[in-house]
A = this chain, B = another copy of it.
Amino acid sequence: MVSKLDLYKIFCKVGKSESFSKAAKDLYMTQPAVSQAIMQLERELDTRLFIRTPKGVSLTNEGSLLFEYANSAINLIHVGEEKILEFKNLTTGELKIGVGDTISRYFLLPYLEAFHNRYPNIKFNIVNGTTLELCTILKSGGVDIAVCNFPIDDPTLELRPCIDIQDTFVYGERFKKILAKPLSLHELVKLPLIFLESKSNSRRYVEDFMISKGIKISPEFELGSHDLLLEFAKINLGIACVTREFSKEYLTEGLLHEVQLIEEIPKRSIGVCFLKSVPLSRASTKFVEIVENKNN
Contact = CB atoms under 8 A, between A and B. Distances in A.
A72 to B, nearest CB: 5
A74 interface: yes
A60 interface: yes
A52 to B, nearest CB: 9
A65 B77 CA distance: 11
A66 interface: yes
A76 B76 contact: yes
A66 B80 contact: yes
Nearest to A279: B48
A3 B76 CA distance: 15
Contact of A73 (B47, B74, B84): B74
Interface string A76-87: 111111011101
Interface in A235-275: none
A281 B1 CA distance: 18
A281 B81 CA distance: 37
**Copies per assembly:** 2
Interface residues of A, number: 41
Contacts of A94: 61
Interface in A1-59: 1-2, 4-6, 8-9, 45-48, 51, 53
A70 B77 CA distance: 6
A60 to B, nearest CB: 7
Contact of A51 (B46, B47, B80, B279): B279
Contacts of A83: 65-66, 69
Contacts of A76: 69-70, 72-73, 76
Contacts of A120: none
Nearest to A277: B53
A213 interface: no
A145 to B, nearest CB: 13
A63 B90 CA distance: 15
Contact of A88 (B5, B47, B69): B47
A66 B81 contact: yes
B87 A80 contact: no
A62 interface: yes
A80 B73 CA distance: 10
A182 interface: no
A93 interface: yes
A178 interface: no
Nearest to A75: B73
Interface of A: 1-2, 4-6, 8-9, 45-48, 51, 53, 60-62, 65-66, 68-70, 72-74, 76-81, 83-85, 87-88, 93-94, 277-279, 281
The 5 closest A-B pairs by CB, nearest first: A69-B80, A5-B5, A73-B76, A73-B73, A73-B77
